[in-house]
Amino acid sequence: MTPETHPSQTWFGRWRATMSEMTFSAAICLGFLIIVFIIGIFAPWIAPYDEAQILTNDSFMPPSAEMWLGSDYLGRDVLSRLIYGIRITLFLALTISCLSFLSGVGLGFLAAVSGGRIDSWMSRFNDAMLSFPSLMLALIVINSLGSSFTVLIFTIALIDLTRVYRVSRALAVNVMVMDYVEAAVVRGEKKWWIIFHEVLPNTLIPLAAEFGIRFTYTILFISALSFLGLGVQPPQSDLGVMVKENMQALLYGEYTTLYPAIMIALIAVSMNIFVDWLLLQSSTKLPDEV
């Protein structure tokens, strides 16, 4: 027995062991997500045309050899716009999730590790913020500051932050009652040492799952805002804008507006299935989502 060198003893080893036991559907979903990300990153090289280039005078042309998904209401190539739309949507969602995670997990862990008055005040303030429907919060801020990438990113990150805080605090509180944490406290370890060496490794998988859930939620939220005309503003466009601007295609019997909607759904479904599998692996439950 050599416990120090056994791979299941380190969090990285456990991570790798979990990955090798992936179910078929989870693997497919992960594969799809990776492909979508690659498409997003290399959009300018993959897209057949420029996203803003008007190629034809006909709106909503049916799919053809030159334009695989037809043309949109201005006669632009739908496939190219879809690829660029994926890029913008993923960029926004990823930035927002990272931002809300760095701050939310930090604050949540800090509250759990500090305990006492700091914890109760932070949590009370967070509960008050949670008493706001998230769409209302977003609409109020957009009403005052207008809709730009910066406003969108910081507003939605703030909304996500309240949820991430709640989840990460709950996860950390569960770890804090463990004997090994008490041992660390008795040893005289500092707050940040406990956070990085005890709490973080033991909450990594549920946090990864929560990241996936937040990411999906953010994609759906941005798309909804863009669909309302209050998110990403033309000429820039994400998938939600594409759904909105091509709604009349249905009247022409074309399904242009469905392609971006289906793309959003596919990304979200894959992420959710992957997250479900991830949660099953760690056998932890996240607090109910709001």
Partner 1 sequence: MSLLEILARRLLLGAGTLLFVSALVFFGTEILPGDVAYAILGQGATPELVEQVRDRLGLNEPLHLRYWIWLTNFLAGDFGSSLANGADIGTEVSRRASNTFILASCTALVAVPLAITLGLLASIKPGGRLDRSITSVSLALISFPDFMVAVILVTIFAVKLHWLPAIASIRPSYDVFDWIRILILPVTALTFTILAHMVRMTRSAVLNVLSSPAIEMAILKGVPRRRLMVRHALPNALGPIINVVALNLAYLISGVVIIETLFNFPGLGRYMVEGVTNRDVPIVQTCAMIFCTFYVLLNILADILSIMANPRVRYKK
Question: Which residues bind to partner 1, rule: CB under 8 A?
Answer: 128, 131-137, 139-145, 216, 220, 223-224, 227-230, 240, 243, 247, 250-251, 253, 255, 257-258, 261-262, 264-265, 268-269, 271-273, 276, 288-290
> Taken in order 135, 141, 143, 145, is the CA torsion positive or negative?
negative
Q: How far is the CB of 267 from partner 1 (least distance, A)?
A: 8
Q: How far is the CB of 256 from partner 1 (least distance, A)?
A: 11
In the complex with partner 1, which residue's Cβ is closer, 17 or 269?
Answer: 269
In the complex with partner 1, which residue's Cβ is closer, 105 or 231?
Answer: 231
Q: How far is the CB of 9 from partner 1 (least distance, A)?
A: 31
Q: Cα(214)–Cα(161) distance, rounded to whole angstroms?
A: 10
Q: Cα(251)–Cα(103) distance, rounded to whole angstroms?
A: 46
In the complex with partner 1, which residue's Cβ is closer, 9 or 248?
Answer: 248
Q: Cα(7)–Cα(29) distance, rounded to whole angstroms?
A: 26
| Secondary structure letter of residue 178 according to DSSP | S
In the complex with partner 1, which residue's Cβ is closer, 203 or 216?
Answer: 216
Q: How far is the CB of 91 from partner 1 (least distance, A)?
A: 18
Q: How far is the CB of 165 from partner 1 (least distance, A)?
A: 17
- Cα angle for residues 221, 110, 90 (degrees, 5° grid): 25
Q: Cα(159)–Cα(164) distance, rounded to whole angstroms?
A: 9
Locus of tokens 């949540």:
108
Q: How far is the CB of 73 from partner 1 (least distance, A)?
A: 15
In the complex with partner 1, which residue's Cβ is closer, 94 or 224?
Answer: 224
In the complex with partner 1, which residue's Cβ is closer, 121 or 192?
Answer: 121
In the complex with partner 1, which residue's Cβ is closer, 22 or 129?
Answer: 129
| Secondary structure letter of residue 72 according to DSSP | -
Q: How far is the CB of 251 from partner 1 (least distance, A)?
A: 7
For the record, the structure tokens of 22 come out as: 């992936």
Q: Cα(141)–Cα(153) distance, rounded to whole angstroms?
A: 12
Cα dist from 61 to 46, 253, 254, 263, whole Å: 22, 10, 8, 20
Q: Cα(107)–Cα(113) distance, rounded to whole angstroms?
A: 10
Contact 226, 247 (CB under 8 A): no
Q: Cα(231)–Cα(149) distance, rounded to whole angstroms?
A: 8
Estimate to the nearest angstrom the gap between the alpha carbon of 17 and the chain centroid.
25
What single letter denotes the amino acid at residue 131? S
Q: How far is the CB of 33 from partner 1 (least distance, A)?
A: 12
In the complex with partner 1, which residue's Cβ is closer, 5 or 131?
Answer: 131
